[in-house]
Structure 1
Amino acid sequence: MKILTLTTLYPNHIKNGHGIFVEQRLRHLLGCEDIEAEVIAPVPWFPFISEKFGRYSVFARIAKTERRYGISLSHPRYLLLPKIGMTLAPLMLVFALYPLLKKKLKQGDNFDLIDAHYFYPDGVAAVMLGKLLKKSVIVTARGSDINLIATFYWPRKMIVWAAQQASAIITVCQALKEKIVDLGISPTNIHVFRNGVDLQFFVPIDRQKAQTELKLTRPTLLSVGHLVELKGHHLVIEALQVLEDYHLVIAGDGEQMPRLKKMANDLGVAERVTFLGAISHQQLVTVYNAADILILASSREGWPNVLLEAMACGTPVIATHVSGTPEIVTSSEAGMLMDERSAQAIVTAVRTMQKQMPQRQETRAYAENYSWDATVHGIAGLFKEILGRPSVEGSLAHQDGD
């Protein structure tokens, strides 16, 4: 079986952490099953590479092709227009990719199905391409594609159409499946395959050495993710005013960096906040091990891998009760959930956990229930089942023969 993974969410040589969860699933799938894959990860077209153009210039610097972990990647460009780009994005992707895929098939470089990640615009475009190329399409919903983008009128219309036409839908948690059902989609074609965690990569290491490397001398809270409002880093900084015995490490980069630094300074806690910026996955292992508790104060999530990564390193978590988090944090060994998203709720949760901290080896043992094995075998089985279905044309011919 050869699959074509189509997504705008995939790491590249410049943005190594971009959509890392898509790459992780694909790598484990290829490692466990007799499957080949090629990745097409389109990026918006931009003409200038100068850094003075900010984040847009990053698109121009991404190579047209590359290889990661033995997997071939291509990064074709598509037009993303300001203001109206969100509505037209699926069509722009189709216009850019159809000639490329048509040429690929004509040259004998065939693939069996399209494995699309993120429902909008990626999934919508993939279903359109599947119809043009007569290929099965499986779309994986990831989180904000359903929790946020589906709240807009035209994107929701296109997401519903694509969901009705896709050969199958995968969600990373039960909560996302329920959200898609609420859009009017039959649950029978929606399959829940959660993300796993790489238990050989995220492992407990020498904590004292990790803390020394980060120059940490007191109990430490950790907040990981893009520096945007929905991740709730500002709430953890605010909670630090009361949690005077704690240091806070924030790992991630984003538009709110200046605001968060100013907030820490204004609240008088700047000396107890370390901003690491964007860091590698290898560095994350050190940071997870150095921390006492990971805080995830998000307003929405799909299946937040940071929770499992921290737990695999032995670090318990505190998270808001949103979307997939209750499916991850199900026992005291894992950590606890907050019903309210506020600084006071963080303070209360930290103080509660302080009284009965789970043993780090127990937290690691809990994470070991979330390997990738069951997920990738289930997905491979779904792919094979879909490819074994009779085609529409074949079914009609069979009926005519009867």
Structure 2
Amino acid sequence: MPVAGGLCQPESASIREHLLTFSRYDGAMLRVLTLATLFPDATRPNFGVFVERQTLGLAAYAEVDLRLVAPIGLPPWPLTRHPRYRALAGLPRHEMWKGLDTLRPRFLTVPGTGGRRHVAALVRALVPVIDALREEFPFDVIDAEFFFPDGPAAIALGQRYGVPVSIKARGADIHHWGHGPTGRQVVAAGHGAAGMLAVSEAMKRDMAALGLPAENIRVHRTGVDLDRFAPLDRPTAKSALGVTGPLVVAVGALIERKGHAIVIEAMRGVPDATLLIAGDGPERGRLDALIARLGLTDRVRLLGAVPHADLPRLIAAADVSALASSSEGLANAWVESLACGTPVVITDAGGARELVRDAAAGRVVARTAPAFAAAIKEVLAHPPSPEETRRSALPFTWEANTAALYAHLAGL
């Protein structure tokens, strides 16, 4: 369903006119089944918050009736006795999550299989749940929010119930799961989808390179809450964090792909600056050891998982936001940083150059510690005004995101 101007411009007159063409929904609701394995829960409040925010926006749309299915993958017993999995297993299977009617079926994830069995296990878990749901909620379309395993499972469900399927690509679902033993399932799902979404033009190109039909992929930008993520008085915000002097922040899970080790090493070349890293993950021990080995314990701190509600104050306090990702779609952390008036120093990953178009937005550099150190020092020496930096984030509203998603799904 081509949309004049592209889905990244949902507030344009062409989109508003396009919405008026959906006469089949005259006075009726568009019934959406959203499928998302990447979604927050009581044990993981930051897990997929951007999917949550998008889904909340669509559910609040006047012409939409939405149900959410957020499956939880669990390993076989006795691994489920581990505290991490025990907490997940204890979550309710049906709840109202921030006003969303949410089902949380469990599916089996077997370690060491490279994800080969994820889709079959997910479909087995979903069929009885959605069979029952469909009796009282005859959904019109399935909106899969991650390409794997959600996408292939959604295609199987779409065939079972005779409804179209949309699949959204966000980053690792293409760059990781789109290769190796699960690559064929990803490509087959893309060919079976009635429509696909990509978070950036770069992601669309990466999908096409895998063999997915480019003519069926629409760019659907993320959103940012411009009221919450906004510039603050920087010295006051720094003082609240116990920081004096230049401040660099990095927001992202502590996994190798995010490149926190590179930013930590870069701090040796920025001797007067503090680095605060918000996020948690399996790399924490290694990063702690690196900080100690480099003698940076007085200037580099791992904050752990920071509630999303607290991120605006942290980011707005910083002079620079740095993330050395090896791959991305279009990171929400980048957009949130710019909205706070904090320029970014990032790698040429995903949609980086679609966002960083001028010096006020920041720098796109090589994925090396010297390159990051030089760019951070350059931004600190010639800081743009927060207002200049914020301009790059202004097109990324959740209202635009919702309108574009509705147009896409209704068009299917």
1:124 equivalent among 136, 149, 152: 152
SS in 1 for 2:269: coil
* Segment of structure 1 superposing worse, 297-306 or 193-202: 193-202
Call closer, same or farther: CA 1:353–1:85 in 2, change over 3 Å. closer
CA contact (8 A) 1:47 1:60 kept: no
* Segment of structure 1 superposing worse, 219-228 or 325-334: 325-334
Q: Deviations over 1:247-299 (max 9, x none)?
A: 11010011111111111111111111121100111211111011110001111
- Name the amino acid aligned to 1:380: Y
Find the aligned partners of 1:93 and 1:185 in 2 and give their Cα distance: 23
* Segment of structure 1 superposing worse, 65-74 or 158-167: 65-74
Q: Deviations over 1:147-193 (max 9, x none)?
A: 121111x3111111111111101111111111121122222111111
Shift of 1:10: 0.6
Find the aligned partners of 1:212 and 1:48 in 2 and give their Cα distance: 48
Residue 145, structure 1, aligned to residue 145, structure 2: no
Call closer, same or farther: CA 1:183–1:52 in 2, change over 3 Å. closer
CA contact (8 A) 2:75 2:110 kept: no
Which residue is 2:286 aligned to? 259
Residue correspondence of structure 1 range 365-376 to structure 2 within 5 A: 365-376=391-402
SS in 2 for 1:135: coil
Q: Give 1 or 2: higher helix fraction.
A: 1
Residue correspondence of structure 1 range 31-70 to structure 2 within 5 A: 31-45=60-74, 53-70=82-99
Find the aligned partners of 2:75 and 2:289 in 1 and give their Cα distance: 32
CA contact (8 A) 1:218 1:247 kept: yes
CA contact (8 A) 2:316 2:341 kept: yes
Residue 77, structure 1, aligned to residue 103, structure 2: no
Find the aligned partners of 2:91 and 2:154 in 1 and give their Cα distance: 22
CA contact (8 A) 1:78 1:93 kept: yes
Residue 355, structure 1, aligned to residue 381, structure 2: yes
- Name the amino acid aligned to 2:260: H
More RCO (CA 8 Å, sep 6+): 2
Q: Deviations over 1:293-322 (max 9, x none)?
A: 000111111110001111111111111011
* Segment of structure 1 superposing worse, 89-98 or 173-182: 173-182
Shift of 1:369: 2.2
Residue 290, structure 1, aligned to residue 317, structure 2: yes
Which residue is 2:14 aligned to? none
Q: Deviations over 1:335-378 (max 9, x none)?
A: 1110x101000111112222321101211233112212333212
* Segment of structure 1 superposing worse, 18-27 or 369-378: 369-378
Residue 87, structure 1, aligned to residue 116, structure 2: yes
Residue 165, structure 1, aligned to residue 220, structure 2: no
Quick one: percent identity of the two aligned structures? 35
Residue correspondence of structure 1 range 217-296 to structure 2 within 5 A: 217-296=244-323
SS in 2 for 1:241: helix
- Name the amino acid aligned to 1:83: G
Find the aligned partners of 1:79 and 1:56 in 2 and give their Cα distance: 12
Shift of 1:47: 7.8
- Name the amino acid aligned to 1:21: F
Find the aligned partners of 1:31 and 1:133 in 2 and give their Cα distance: 25
Which residue is 1:207 aligned to? 234
Which residue is 2:222 aligned to? 195
CA contact (8 A) 1:210 1:287 kept: yes
Residue 23, structure 1, aligned to residue 49, structure 2: no
Q: Which runs of 5+ in 1 are unaligned?
A: 387-402
* Segment of structure 1 superposing worse, 284-293 or 350-359: 350-359
Shift of 1:28: 2.2
CA contact (8 A) 1:46 1:57 kept: no
2:369 equivalent among 343, 350, 353: 343
Call closer, same or farther: CA 1:91–1:319 in 2, change over 3 Å. same
CA contact (8 A) 2:106 2:125 kept: yes
Find the aligned partners of 1:57 and 1:325 in 2 and give their Cα distance: 38
CA contact (8 A) 1:219 1:292 kept: yes
Which residue is 1:393 aligned to? none
- Name the amino acid aligned to 1:385: G
Shift of 1:32: 4.3
Which residue is 1:312 aligned to? 339
* Segment of structure 1 superposing worse, 60-69 or 293-302: 60-69
Call closer, same or farther: CA 1:33–1:328 in 2, change over 3 Å. farther
Output the TM-score relative to the length of structure 1: 0.91
SS in 2 for 1:139: strand
Q: Which runs of 5+ in 2 are unaligned?
A: 1-29
- Name the amino acid aligned to 1:361: E
Residue 156, structure 1, aligned to residue 183, structure 2: yes
Which residue is 1:381 aligned to? 407
Which residue is 1:175 aligned to? 202
Residue-pair matches, total: 383
CA contact (8 A) 1:33 1:380 kept: no
Find the aligned partners of 2:260 and 2:311 in 1 and give their Cα distance: 17
Which residue is 1:334 aligned to? 361
Find the aligned partners of 2:382 and 2:113 in 1 and give their Cα distance: 52
